[in-house]
Structure 1
């Protein structure tokens, strides 16, 4: 009986005609981000499941999974890259089925490490060409020209780090807008494949929620600037048929991460942004984040994130904003504020509707 292949979300719809075994691959042939392969699970580490369309699939040693080669930047988990040569083993970098080689690991996962995989073969078409999810979706991408973005208002959700609260902030922004009768959409523009973020935003009120995986990207780490801009244009275009007044766009990781910094320092991209909400984990991150954004010519419309769970941290931030930066008023929004729409962007819109 042939073993069932468990597919990660990055390749859930992929079918293949043949497998090119590792023995038939050239030793110096580099893999590319988006290449699809079949792996055998050798040992379970951080990931004991892979996320497929609809649900998590439990994996055990001996299972065969279909995954996609990609890089990952995750300061709280793994740093990993697409291998440039054949390896004895490969690593599951993310629960969505992203595979590569771990370069560094957060200390909390050093003991268990990544889930280890053995390459069975590359998934290929009948002509022998390896299936690449990015290349096979490239024709769907729109060229960035700003035309789609001009038809809505973009709220950018940024964070000081991987776990600063920006996803929750983005989702609760959508929640607050929905509670005030204002339609919003959610886009995860950068990061590593995993549906949790867009699912949360949709569950909390976004009329539609999409991310970069729609165009075959297992992750956006190490993508070029034009790729990111084309993804932005395409994803905005995808949500426009739902007629959102606002589109909440989340960018993964912290301000100093490569793709985040690249986008925030792109004047054309930033000119398309209506408002910026910055999330931080503590008072120092909040204040330094505001200073960094100001140096880059960006003034956030509000602060949010994990630090807003502490009234004491909120007071620290307010005091410093006034004493050191001279900011008399910069809204600091906790989850209740976001969910109830108690923030200027919504309030001004409500006033316009009532006028």
Structure 2
């Protein structure tokens, strides 16, 4: 059977394994646990991302390998790792996060989820293989540790507000003067975004899935902070002067809010860029972050595609509004050379 398996990118680095069907009724799955499934019916997902990030199309009857992980995606779906064996599982994310859907955006209602039947867990020496920190060492968060590069947070109002595009084009601007790296701290595994940032000039690109996390939804703050430290240590091998750290979803999202209101984490941050989908979300995000002592250096995002919306925001804030041309301008680096006074330190 193993030669038939289509393996999702979250399982990159898997060791030799056996498929154990006997334990699947009693084992309580944890985030990162690897299992093998049969595709029952196609819905939202008709493909998964393979080990090299390519699309691997799937069909009913196919066998796939993926890992359990919850998902938070306001424009897509919410799904959780089940607490016990289920007759049916769902693909929550193309990169290989598996769980059971709890809510779905109305636009997906006609498609529904892609459904799976578990064949068994992937085991080694009788133990279920878990991808978290399987290939890399876990580093404990140390707020007092001296940072080797300046940290720029890329935050946004919501899913699809433009955070990744803002981060990518900012990498393009900064990379014309010095070395800049990027990693995404929270979200659900999806390798496509990393390609954009790399092609924009980042010397190193990574995210939480590099450390084996299918997603960060419902992680504890301690887990998130250790992910941050571990990804920072990987980044340090490339000696960037700047590191852009993207935090997924909006300011109200659980993990985002938990990090942004934790002072030891903020002490490691040098500046913030914010992305909004429209003028109101851009203004609200600016006001919220300023109240939290994290006044952004600049605002970008989807709304900047409209000169009219950009002008509306420009008239009520005192920081630059940067469209893609502004973010990728070599002079953008001047905004980040000094740590801003309003970052909460």
Q: TM-score, normalised on structure 2?
A: 0.93
Q: Which has the larger share of helix?
A: 1
How far, CA to CA, are the matches of 1:240 and 1:318 in structure 2? 36
The equivalent of 1:32 in structure 2 is 30
The equivalent of 1:161 in structure 2 is 158
Quote how far apart the aligned CAs of 1:15 are. 3.6
Quote how far apart the aligned CAs of 1:38 are. 0.2
In structure 2, list runs of 5 or more residues that go unmatched: 339-345
**Residues 135, 207 of structure 1: CA spacing in aligned structure 2 closer, same or farther, 3 A cutoff?**
closer
Q: Deviations over 1:64-111 (max 9, x none)?
A: 000100000011111000011111110000000110000011111111
Asked whether the equivalents of residues 138 and 226 of structure 2 are also in contact (C-alpha less than 8 Å), the reply is yes
The equivalent of 2:268 in structure 1 is 272
Matched, 1:300 2:296: yes
**Residues 258, 345 of structure 1: CA spacing in aligned structure 2 closer, same or farther, 3 A cutoff?**
farther
Asked whether the equivalents of residues 149 and 236 of structure 1 are also in contact (C-alpha less than 8 Å), the reply is no
Asked whether the equivalents of residues 174 and 332 of structure 2 are also in contact (C-alpha less than 8 Å), the reply is no
Greater shift after overlay, 280-289 or 292-301? 292-301
Asked whether the equivalents of residues 173 and 332 of structure 2 are also in contact (C-alpha less than 8 Å), the reply is no
Asked whether the equivalents of residues 155 and 273 of structure 2 are also in contact (C-alpha less than 8 Å), the reply is yes
**Residues 347, 288 of structure 1: CA spacing in aligned structure 2 closer, same or farther, 3 A cutoff?**
closer
Matched, 1:178 2:175: yes
After TM superposition, list the pairs within 5 Å mapping 1:271-290 onto structure 2: 271-290=267-286
Matched, 1:14 2:14: yes
Matched, 1:74 2:73: yes
The equivalent of 1:44 in structure 2 is 42
Quote how far apart the aligned CAs of 1:290 are. 1.1
How far, CA to CA, are the matches of 2:279 and 2:147 in structure 1? 35
Asked whether the equivalents of residues 297 and 335 of structure 2 are also in contact (C-alpha less than 8 Å), the reply is no
- Could you say what secondary structure the match of 2:282 adopts? helix
After TM superposition, list the pairs within 5 Å mapping 1:311-350 onto structure 2: 311-321=307-317, 329-343=318-332, 345=334
Q: TM-score, normalised on structure 1?
A: 0.91
How far, CA to CA, are the matches of 2:204 and 2:145 in structure 1? 16
How far, CA to CA, are the matches of 2:56 and 2:305 in structure 1? 34
Asked whether the equivalents of residues 173 and 329 of structure 2 are also in contact (C-alpha less than 8 Å), the reply is yes
Asked whether the equivalents of residues 148 and 237 of structure 1 are also in contact (C-alpha less than 8 Å), the reply is no
**How many residue pairs are counted as aligned between the two chains?**
337
RMSD over aligned Cα atoms: 1.8
Quote how far apart the aligned CAs of 1:304 are. 0.3
Quote how far apart the aligned CAs of 1:341 are. 3.0
In structure 1, list runs of 5 or more residues that go unmatched: 322-328, 350-355
Q: Deviations over 1:208-245 (max 9, x none)?
A: 10111121111111111111111111111111121100
- Could you say what secondary structure the match of 1:91 adopts? strand
The equivalent of 1:4 in structure 2 is 4
How far, CA to CA, are the matches of 2:146 and 2:96 in structure 1? 31
